[in-house]
Amino acid sequence: MASAAESLDLTGVLAVLATFSAIAETTQRHGADDHLRMLAQVENLQQGHAVPTIGAAEHRAEINAKLGR
């Protein structure tokens, strides 16, 4: 923010706002509980703990089922 104020270049500020907007949209669409669960997964990964995963094929099948394909 200080850099943007000094240079009058808002590119960095706009990038941060776009990121927060995407996070807010995802949270609104899936709910706060899913967002908190995702944050907990990230924390577990960062601490080196194992987290449950699924394979790409299974994930694609779930997405296709939700999309009715």
Measured between alpha carbons, how far is 8 from 67 in angstroms, rounded to an integer? 44
48 pLDDT band, cuts 50/70/90, is very high
pTM above 0.75, yes or no: no
Question: Which amino acid, one-letter code, is at 7?
Answer: S
Whether residue 37 contacts residue 27, with contact meaning beta carbons closer than 8 Å, is answered with no
Whether residue 19 contacts residue 26, with contact meaning beta carbons closer than 8 Å, is answered with no
Q: How do residues 10-37 score in pLDDT, each as one tens digit?
A: 888 899 999 999 989 988 998 999 999 9
Say what the pLDDT of residue 61 is: 94
* Radius of gyration over every alpha carbon of the chain, rounded to an integer in angstroms: 18
